[in-house]
Chains A and B, each alone.
Chain A
Amino acid sequence: GQNIDQPTEMTATEGAIVQINCTYQTSGFNGLFWYQQHAGEAPTFLSYNVLDGLEEKGRFSSFLSRSKGYSYLLLKELQMKDSASYLCAVEGGATNKLIFGTGTLLAVQP
Protein backbone atom coordinates (compact mmCIF):
# COMPACT_ATOMS: atom_id res chain seq x y z
CA GLY A 1 0.00 0.00 0.00
CA GLN A 2 0.88 3.66 -0.13
CA ASN A 3 0.90 5.96 2.88
CA ILE A 4 2.36 9.44 2.96
CA ASP A 5 1.98 11.57 6.09
CA GLN A 6 2.50 15.30 6.54
CA PRO A 7 1.28 17.74 9.19
CA THR A 8 -1.96 19.36 8.12
CA GLU A 9 -1.10 22.94 9.00
CA MET A 10 1.86 24.98 10.19
CA THR A 11 2.35 28.62 11.07
CA ALA A 12 5.62 30.54 10.95
CA THR A 13 6.86 34.12 11.09
CA GLU A 14 8.22 36.15 8.21
CA GLY A 15 12.01 35.92 8.11
CA ALA A 16 12.11 32.71 10.14
CA ILE A 17 12.95 29.12 9.20
CA VAL A 18 10.36 26.34 9.01
CA GLN A 19 10.75 22.59 8.52
CA ILE A 20 7.93 20.53 7.02
CA ASN A 21 8.22 16.81 7.61
CA CYS A 22 7.02 13.93 5.47
CA THR A 23 7.04 10.23 6.28
CA TYR A 24 6.16 7.60 3.77
CA GLN A 25 5.51 3.90 3.38
CA THR A 26 5.25 2.88 -0.24
CA SER A 27 5.67 -0.21 -2.34
CA GLY A 28 8.76 0.70 -4.30
CA PHE A 29 10.66 3.94 -4.21
CA ASN A 30 12.24 5.80 -7.09
CA GLY A 31 12.37 9.29 -5.65
CA LEU A 32 10.64 11.95 -3.56
CA PHE A 33 9.35 15.31 -4.74
CA TRP A 34 8.24 18.45 -3.01
CA TYR A 35 5.71 20.71 -4.70
CA GLN A 36 4.26 24.08 -3.75
CA GLN A 37 0.61 24.81 -4.42
CA HIS A 38 -1.18 28.11 -3.94
CA ALA A 39 -4.94 27.87 -3.48
CA GLY A 40 -6.74 27.10 -6.72
CA GLU A 41 -3.53 26.89 -8.72
CA ALA A 42 -1.46 24.08 -10.15
CA PRO A 43 1.29 22.51 -8.05
CA THR A 44 4.78 23.68 -9.00
CA PHE A 45 7.96 21.68 -8.57
CA LEU A 46 10.35 22.59 -5.76
CA SER A 47 12.78 19.73 -5.29
CA TYR A 48 13.61 16.11 -5.98
CA ASN A 49 15.56 13.67 -3.81
CA VAL A 50 16.58 10.20 -4.89
CA LEU A 51 19.65 9.68 -2.71
CA ASP A 52 19.99 10.19 1.04
CA GLY A 53 21.11 13.62 2.10
CA LEU A 54 20.35 17.28 1.69
CA GLU A 55 19.61 19.05 -1.59
CA GLU A 56 19.82 22.83 -1.42
CA LYS A 57 18.18 25.25 -3.83
CA GLY A 58 18.34 28.83 -2.71
CA ARG A 59 16.01 29.41 0.24
CA PHE A 60 14.60 25.88 -0.05
CA SER A 61 16.35 22.65 0.94
CA SER A 62 15.06 19.10 1.02
CA PHE A 63 16.39 16.15 2.96
CA LEU A 64 15.83 12.44 2.44
CA SER A 65 16.49 9.34 4.53
CA ARG A 66 15.42 6.27 2.59
CA SER A 67 16.08 3.87 5.44
CA LYS A 68 13.73 5.86 7.68
CA GLY A 69 11.14 6.66 5.03
CA TYR A 70 11.51 10.31 5.96
CA SER A 71 11.96 13.62 4.23
CA TYR A 72 11.73 17.25 5.17
CA LEU A 73 11.49 20.53 3.32
CA LEU A 74 13.33 23.44 4.91
CA LEU A 75 12.29 26.98 4.03
CA LYS A 76 14.60 29.80 5.13
CA GLU A 77 14.08 33.56 5.28
CA LEU A 78 10.35 33.08 5.00
CA GLN A 79 8.39 35.54 2.92
CA MET A 80 4.66 36.22 2.92
CA LYS A 81 4.42 34.74 -0.58
CA ASP A 82 5.59 31.39 0.84
CA SER A 83 2.12 30.96 2.35
CA ALA A 84 0.88 27.94 0.42
CA SER A 85 0.38 24.19 0.61
CA TYR A 86 3.51 22.06 0.40
CA LEU A 87 3.01 18.63 -1.06
CA CYS A 88 5.28 15.65 -0.53
CA ALA A 89 5.07 13.09 -3.35
CA VAL A 90 6.69 9.71 -3.77
CA GLU A 91 7.43 8.17 -7.13
CA GLY A 92 7.47 4.43 -6.81
CA GLY A 93 7.33 1.07 -8.42
CA ALA A 94 7.90 -0.10 -11.95
CA THR A 95 5.25 2.27 -13.25
CA ASN A 96 6.78 5.38 -11.62
CA LYS A 97 3.38 6.13 -10.13
CA LEU A 98 3.44 9.52 -8.41
CA ILE A 99 1.48 9.57 -5.15
CA PHE A 100 0.94 12.75 -3.14
CA GLY A 101 0.49 13.33 0.54
CA THR A 102 -2.42 15.53 1.60
CA GLY A 103 -0.15 18.54 1.88
CA THR A 104 0.86 20.93 4.64
CA LEU A 105 -0.80 24.34 4.64
CA LEU A 106 1.81 26.87 5.71
CA ALA A 107 0.71 30.30 6.92
CA VAL A 108 3.44 32.92 7.12
CA GLN A 109 2.61 35.74 9.50
CA PRO A 110 4.17 39.21 9.71
Chain B
Amino acid sequence: DSGVTQTPKHLITATGQRVTLRCSPRSGDLSVYWYQQSLDQGLQFLIQYYNGEERAKGNILERFSAQQFPDLHSELNLSSLELGDSALYFCASSVPSKDADTEAFFGQGTRLTVV
Protein backbone atom coordinates (compact mmCIF):
# COMPACT_ATOMS: atom_id res chain seq x y z
CA ASP B 1 0.00 0.00 0.00
CA SER B 2 1.59 3.26 -1.20
CA GLY B 3 -0.52 5.44 1.07
CA VAL B 4 -2.04 7.26 -1.91
CA THR B 5 -5.77 6.66 -2.28
CA GLN B 6 -7.71 7.15 -5.47
CA THR B 7 -11.46 6.89 -5.89
CA PRO B 8 -13.34 5.50 -7.63
CA LYS B 9 -11.37 2.48 -8.83
CA HIS B 10 -13.57 2.03 -11.87
CA LEU B 11 -15.87 4.42 -13.70
CA ILE B 12 -18.03 3.83 -16.74
CA THR B 13 -19.77 6.80 -18.28
CA ALA B 14 -21.22 8.01 -21.57
CA THR B 15 -19.72 10.40 -24.08
CA GLY B 16 -20.42 14.03 -23.33
CA GLN B 17 -20.60 13.47 -19.58
CA ARG B 18 -18.44 14.93 -16.82
CA VAL B 19 -16.65 13.00 -14.08
CA THR B 20 -14.51 13.82 -11.06
CA LEU B 21 -11.61 11.68 -9.95
CA ARG B 22 -10.32 12.04 -6.43
CA CYS B 23 -6.90 11.56 -4.91
CA SER B 24 -5.75 11.62 -1.30
CA PRO B 25 -1.95 11.91 -1.10
CA ARG B 26 0.29 10.29 1.48
CA SER B 27 0.25 12.02 4.82
CA GLY B 28 2.69 14.93 4.69
CA ASP B 29 3.17 14.96 0.91
CA LEU B 30 2.60 18.41 -0.52
CA SER B 31 2.99 17.62 -4.21
CA VAL B 32 0.34 15.83 -6.25
CA TYR B 33 0.75 14.72 -9.86
CA TRP B 34 -1.90 13.47 -12.29
CA TYR B 35 -1.07 11.13 -15.16
CA GLN B 36 -3.10 9.56 -17.95
CA GLN B 37 -2.20 6.13 -19.27
CA SER B 38 -4.07 4.90 -22.33
CA LEU B 39 -3.98 1.26 -23.41
CA ASP B 40 -0.41 0.17 -24.13
CA GLN B 41 0.79 3.76 -23.74
CA GLY B 42 3.19 5.41 -21.34
CA LEU B 43 2.32 7.68 -18.48
CA GLN B 44 1.38 11.08 -19.86
CA PHE B 45 1.93 13.91 -17.40
CA LEU B 46 -1.17 16.06 -17.02
CA ILE B 47 -0.64 18.46 -14.16
CA GLN B 48 1.17 18.98 -10.86
CA TYR B 49 0.03 20.78 -7.72
CA TYR B 50 2.10 21.81 -4.77
CA ASN B 51 0.50 22.87 -1.48
CA GLY B 52 -2.70 23.96 -3.16
CA GLU B 53 -1.21 25.78 -6.14
CA GLU B 54 -0.72 24.66 -9.71
CA ARG B 55 3.00 23.99 -10.19
CA ALA B 56 3.41 22.56 -13.68
CA LYS B 57 1.24 21.66 -16.63
CA GLY B 58 1.69 18.92 -19.17
CA ASN B 59 -0.44 17.94 -22.15
CA ILE B 60 -3.70 18.50 -20.34
CA LEU B 61 -6.75 19.17 -22.51
CA GLU B 62 -8.85 22.27 -21.96
CA ARG B 63 -11.78 19.94 -21.16
CA PHE B 64 -9.80 18.73 -18.15
CA SER B 65 -9.14 20.68 -14.99
CA ALA B 66 -7.80 19.94 -11.56
CA GLN B 67 -7.40 21.49 -8.16
CA GLN B 68 -5.76 20.76 -4.84
CA PHE B 69 -7.68 21.63 -1.70
CA PRO B 70 -6.42 22.98 1.65
CA ASP B 71 -6.40 19.46 3.09
CA LEU B 72 -4.11 18.54 0.14
CA HIS B 73 -6.46 16.11 -1.54
CA SER B 74 -6.85 16.70 -5.25
CA GLU B 75 -9.56 16.27 -7.83
CA LEU B 76 -9.29 15.86 -11.58
CA ASN B 77 -12.36 16.95 -13.51
CA LEU B 78 -12.94 15.58 -16.99
CA SER B 79 -15.77 17.08 -19.02
CA SER B 80 -17.37 16.61 -22.45
CA LEU B 81 -15.95 13.12 -22.37
CA GLU B 82 -14.92 11.41 -25.58
CA LEU B 83 -14.22 7.75 -26.31
CA GLY B 84 -10.51 8.54 -26.51
CA ASP B 85 -10.51 9.67 -22.88
CA SER B 86 -10.86 6.06 -21.79
CA ALA B 87 -7.69 5.35 -19.83
CA LEU B 88 -6.14 4.69 -16.45
CA TYR B 89 -5.72 7.90 -14.51
CA PHE B 90 -3.01 7.81 -11.88
CA CYS B 91 -2.36 10.19 -9.06
CA ALA B 92 1.04 10.32 -7.38
CA SER B 93 2.32 12.27 -4.42
CA SER B 94 5.74 13.22 -3.16
CA VAL B 95 7.68 15.59 -1.00
CA PRO B 96 9.61 17.66 -3.56
CA SER B 97 13.27 17.76 -2.63
CA LYS B 98 16.71 17.40 -4.14
CA ASP B 99 17.57 14.71 -1.58
CA ALA B 100 17.81 11.07 -2.51
CA ASP B 101 14.88 8.66 -2.42
CA THR B 102 12.16 11.29 -2.57
CA GLU B 103 10.26 9.23 -5.06
CA ALA B 104 6.68 9.72 -6.11
CA PHE B 105 4.23 7.19 -4.71
CA PHE B 106 1.38 6.16 -6.96
CA GLY B 107 -2.22 5.39 -6.18
CA GLN B 108 -3.85 2.33 -7.73
CA GLY B 109 -5.46 4.43 -10.42
CA THR B 110 -8.97 5.05 -11.66
CA ARG B 111 -9.95 3.12 -14.77
CA LEU B 112 -12.26 5.31 -16.81
CA THR B 113 -14.28 3.78 -19.62
CA VAL B 114 -16.25 6.10 -21.86
CA VAL B 115 -18.96 4.37 -23.89
User: Do A and B truly interact?
Assistant: yes
Binding site for B on A (CB under 8 A): 30-31, 33, 40-45, 48, 50, 87, 89, 93, 95-103
Instruction: For A50, list chain B residues within 8 Å (CB).
Output: 98, 100
Q: Mark B85-115, 1 if CB is under 8 A from A, else 0.
A: 0001010101011101111111111010000
When the two chains form their complex, are residues A97 and B98 in contact, meaning their CB atoms are under 8 A apart? no
**Stretch of B11-19, B48-56, B62-70, B71-79 contacting A (4+ beta carbons < 8 Å):** B48-56
Q: How many A-B contacts if CB must be within 8 Å?
A: 65
- By size class, the interface of chain B is 20 to 34
Cα-based distance from A101 to B43 in the complex (angstroms) = 7
B107 nearest CB neighbor, chain A only: A42
Binding site for A on B (CB under 8 A): 2, 31, 33, 35, 41-43, 45, 48, 50, 55-56, 58, 88, 90, 92, 94, 96-98, 100-109, 111
When the two chains form their complex, are residues B106 and A103 in contact, meaning their CB atoms are under 8 A apart? no
Contact of B42 among A44, A93, A98, A101 (CB under 8 A): A101
Nearest 5 A/B pairs, CB to CB = A102-B42, A42-B106, A96-B96, A100-B43, A97-B56
When the two chains form their complex, are residues A45 and B31 in contact, meaning their CB atoms are under 8 A apart? no
